A and B are shown apart, each in its own frame.
Chain A
Amino acid sequence: MLARRNAVLVLMGVELMLNAVNINLVAFDAAFRDVLHGGQTLALFTIVIAAAEIGLALAIVLLVFRTHGHIDLDRLRDLADRDLPADATASPDAEDAR
């Protein structure tokens, strides 16, 4: 997830990590014989939250694609703390053209 440049691939990494959490929850639910099934219920909640997260994140990714024309995370530097004021006045189109 840290090494990917495509935003959608980073989201795939997030989904993988949430799945790891789910496996832990279900495994401990089975290990502790939870009569309330807290682990499985929390795993369900995690799945729902992951679905909400992926929907929002993909909306953001599509918005970024519409405004920038790419979703390369290394090149998205609109909020970077630049030293040169001349750079700051340059339009973001110049950065896209690079």
Chain B
Amino acid sequence: MTAVEAVFLLLAAIAVVSAVLVVSTPHLVHAALWLVVTLGAVAGVFLVLAAEFVAWVQVLIYVGAVVVLLLFALMLTRAPTGPQPDLTVRRWAPAAFVGLLVAVLLGATVVAGFQDVRIDLDQAVVGSAEVTGETVFRRWVLPFEVLSVLLLAALVGAIVLSRMRGADEPGEADCCRCGGRCCWPACCSGSASTACWRAATPCWC
């Protein structure tokens, strides 16, 4: 076993163990932090597999953006920090069985199809930024542009969704200005702005 294989196996083991912990830990925030470990290990796997640019994109987008987004979502939904025994459903065994079945099926397919293939990474072309950029902007320009339109659509959709009001939430008429901030509904009676902050969730009107 070469050193590269040893590093690959170590990173893969870290990724698998922390991925299992992501889906099984009773702490909400710990799941997000184990996700960081998993994604970092996967980025290391990409580096070993000579995909340098993909590895750094993985670090920037996943570890940098997606996990922060997930942590913000946990914070905004007032996730408790302690352990929660009711985080998983009571009948988790069938779900675990389905997951195991899919893993065995896919793993067996890969093993059966590529049993004696060993990836020789010594002469592999490293997917540096130059190589990847040339590929993306020569061969894959059209999918790239379609992808940018998709990103724009997702951005607009996320903004529209987060500005949408529920039926029981106040409309513009119910809002009042209070202490420089728009609140609802009872803050009109109280003159102090502290009452306004405590009163309710802010609405934007």
What is A's interface to B at a CB cutoff of 8 Å? Answer: 1-6, 8-9, 11-13, 15-16, 19, 22-24, 26-27, 29-31, 33, 35-38, 40-41, 43-45, 47-56, 58-63, 65-67, 71, 74
A23 touches B42 (CB 8 A): yes
In the assembled complex, the Cα of A33 lies from the Cα of B120 at a distance in Å of 10
B76 touches A55 (CB 8 A): no
A37 touching B127 in the complex, CB below 8 Å, given contacts A4-B23, A11-B70: yes
In the assembled complex, the Cα of A66 lies from the Cα of B76 at a distance in Å of 10
Q: B204 at interface (Cβ–Cβ under 8 A)? A: no
Contact of B201 among A44, A48, A61, A66 (CB under 8 A): A66
**Interface bits B53-87 vs A (CB < 8 Å: 1, else 0):** 11001100110011001101110110100000011
Q: Which residue of A lies closest to B50 (CB)?
A: A30
| Chain B stretch 75-128: residues in CB contact (< 8 A) with chain A | 76-77, 79, 86-89, 92, 94-96, 98-99, 110, 114, 117, 119, 121, 124-125, 127
Q: What residues on A are CB-neighbors of B166 within 8 Å?
A: 63, 66-67
| Chain B stretch 118-162: residues in CB contact (< 8 A) with chain A | 119, 121, 124-125, 127, 131-132, 135-136, 139-140, 143-144, 147, 150-151, 153-155, 157-158, 161-162
A-B contact pairs, 21 of them (CB 8 A): A6-B79, A8-B73, A19-B42, A23-B45, A26-B51, A27-B119, A30-B51, A37-B135, A40-B135, A43-B46, A43-B51, A47-B62, A48-B151, A52-B153, A58-B70, A60-B161, A62-B77, A65-B76, A67-B166, A67-B167, A67-B169
- 7 tightest A-B contacts by CB? A2-B95, A52-B154, A3-B95, A67-B166, A3-B92, A59-B161, A59-B158
A61 touching B50 in the complex, CB below 8 Å, given contacts A37-B135, A47-B61, A56-B161: no
B23 touches A44 (CB 8 A): no
Q: Which residue of B lies closest to A16 (CB)?
A: B19
A5 touches B89 (CB 8 A): yes
A16 touching B22 in the complex, CB below 8 Å, given contacts A37-B131, A40-B132: yes
Q: What residues on A are CB-neighbors of B132 within 8 Å?
A: 37, 40-41, 44
Q: B1 at interface (Cβ–Cβ under 8 A)? A: no
A62 touches B73 (CB 8 A): yes
Contact of B54 among A26, A33, A36, A51 (CB under 8 A): A26
B57 touches A47 (CB 8 A): yes
A51 touches B42 (CB 8 A): no
Q: Which residue of A lies closest to B19 (CB)?
A: A16
Rounded to whole Å, the gap between the CB of B71 and the closest CB of chain A is 9
Q: Which of B54, B65, B95, B154 has the most CB of A within 10 A?
A: B54
Q: What residues on B are CB-neighbors of A8 within 8 Å?
A: 28, 70, 73-74, 77, 79
B147 touches A48 (CB 8 A): yes
Query: Which stretch of B31-39, B175-183, B189-197 is in the interface?
Result: B31-39
